[in-house]
Structure 1
Amino acid sequence: MLMVPPCRIGGDRTCWHAERLSARLNDTVELIHRLMTQSGVPMPDSQLRVVESLADRFTTTPFSYPEVGATRQDQLPRGYRRLEARIDVGHGRQRFLEVSDRLLTWQIHSESGLALQVSDPQVRQGAILIATLPLGPVKIDTRCRVVYLITDDRRAAFAYGTLPGHPETGEERFDVELTDDDRVVFNLRAFSRNAWLLARLGSTVSNRVQAMVNRRYLAAAAS
């Protein structure tokens, strides 16, 4: 829990504690901004570990948001940041099968610079994912569970939702599609908002990190 001491009331009723916290958050924003946009955040080698005990720990844990499965719907829920992005990643069935296999074996995630612990080597409904994103001296841990899985001749897709302890609440869908004109398209759909008080105070940091990770997903799918 974030504890903020009582405010010092002055002529302008300025709380110096809030000012100090704001200054520190701004410093953090600038640090992460430099890491991401100037020197770049180094992407470590793919790190993927299968930890079957995760299923025992988190299978019955409730999701941290009520709109479970809403990434299947045409309209994403209100009250969240919403994302819809797509990128062409090739042509033909062979390319579709290749990207689908990488998606459904967690490779696109691990190739995005995330260190992963998963309960299953293949994506399945109910699978648990704990992802760690290194940002210089800072590491961000996330916990998710797969909400649904779709596989057919022209689509491979799944969505996972956040569990308690994740700095965000919401759901994200990853979708590889073979279109009627033989293009292979990778789609992202998500809705989320900050869960922790500190994450809300540092929402600029959180939003930038989320945008960076989503760009990496798209780049990994296209590789």
Structure 2
Amino acid sequence: MSRRAPIWERAVSYAAVGATRAPDLMEYPPTGYRPLERRALIGHGPARWEHAWTETLTWGIQQRSGFRVEVVETPAELDRMGYTPVGFDDDGSPIAPAVVDGSGERIYAADGRPLLRPGDTAWLGIPFGPLRLRFPARVVYVVDEPNRRGFAYGTLPGHAERGEEAFVVERSDDGSVWVSIRAFSRPGGFFWWLTSPVLRLTQGFYTARYLRALATPLAADTAPEAVVPQPADPAAGSAAAAETRDPA
């Protein structure tokens, strides 16, 4: 669909919707796309977990990383409906169409902020020299498990890239809290192909920010102990990413 269409009418600009869920994403990414996976320890305990998942499901990671998030209001007749993206099998073939149903009830965090749900759409703005670039994206799925929460967004026409990025926080049995970033992408058009080295550097820059975004000290009344990110192997020398996977 044209990038001139209202943002809430645009379809995502790639085919493999939901592929960031695939356990073998790094080995078998969608054809023509470059995968990425990062994971970092961001803290420990109930307060850190509550903070992490709430921020993740309210665009907090993006906002804390320097993005300006402009949520797009969907027309009321569509906002009352739930959105389920296309389903894919292990080979990436579509097996279930996207559907809209009447179960899309809006849920709010304790502080009153609306939690993300599939179908939510936003402009993500970043500074670029004297300019501020805006890129459209849509939430394609939400993870809501007792110890694992997050979401993924897909790019829309008009974005610099095509692909998907997932932001998931997890709580381990020992109470440690981790954030994982998984993505696959490629430049979104001819101009962006010409600037692909810059795109790749920009992606790396913001991914590093994502990993630090939820590790800042919490307010004294909610978190008497603040834990900064720690690498899985202190000898590795990375203060942000405990685990890194990237193609050679």
TM-score under structure 1 normalisation? 0.71
Match of 1:119 in 2: 72
Deviation at 1:136, TM superposition (A): 2.0
Q: 2:11 aligns with which of 50, 55, 62?
A: 62
1:124 Cα deviation from its structure 2 partner: 1.0
Aligned-residue offset at 1:219: 1.4
Deviations 1:86-113 (A, max 9, x none): 1100112221111111111112211111
Give the alignment's Cα RMSD to 1 decimal: 1.6
TM-score by length of 2: 0.64
Runs of 4+ in 1 over 4 A off after TM superposition: none
Does structure 1 retain, via aligned residues, the 8 Å contact 2:37–2:182?
Answer: yes
Q: Point out the structure with the larger helix share.
A: 1
Are the equivalent residues in 2 in contact too, given 1:93–1:178 (CA < 8 A)?
A: no
Q: CA deviation at 1:180?
A: 1.8
- Give me the whole-angstrom Cα distance separating, in 1, the residues matched to 2:203 and 2:136: 14
Give the distance between the partners of 2:135 and 2:50, measured in 1 at CA: 28
Match of 2:44 in 1: 91
Indicate if the aligned counterparts of 1:128 and 1:143 stay in contact, CA closer than 8 A.
yes
Tell me the equivalent position of 1:16.
none
Query: How many residue pairs align between the two structures?
Result: 168
Deviations 1:163-207 (A, max 9, x none): 001010000000000012221000000000001211111111111
Query: Counterpart in 2 of 1:208?
Result: 201
- Read off the aligned partner of 1:118 and give its amino acid letter: V
| Structure 2, unaligned runs of 5 or more | 74-113, 217-248
Q: CA deviation at 1:144?
A: 0.6
Alpha-carbon distance between aligned partners in 1 of 2:175 and 2:132, rounded to the nearest angstrom? 40
Q: Work out the CA distance in 1 between the residues paired with 2:131 and 2:193.
A: 17
Match of 1:101 among 50, 54, 59: 54
Q: Which protein shows a greater Rg?
A: 1
Quote the Cα distance in structure 2 between the aligned partners of 1:122 and 1:151.
11
**Residue ranges of structure 1 left out of the alignment (5+ in a row):** 1-55
**Structure 1 position 62, deviation (Å):** 1.2
Match of 2:35 in 1: 82
Cα distance in 2, alignment partners of residues 107 and 217 from structure 1: 10
What is the distance in 1 between the residues matched to 2:72 and 2:194? 32
Higher relative contact order (CA 8 A, sep 6+): 2
Structure 1 Cα separation of the partners of residues 215 and 35 of structure 2: 22
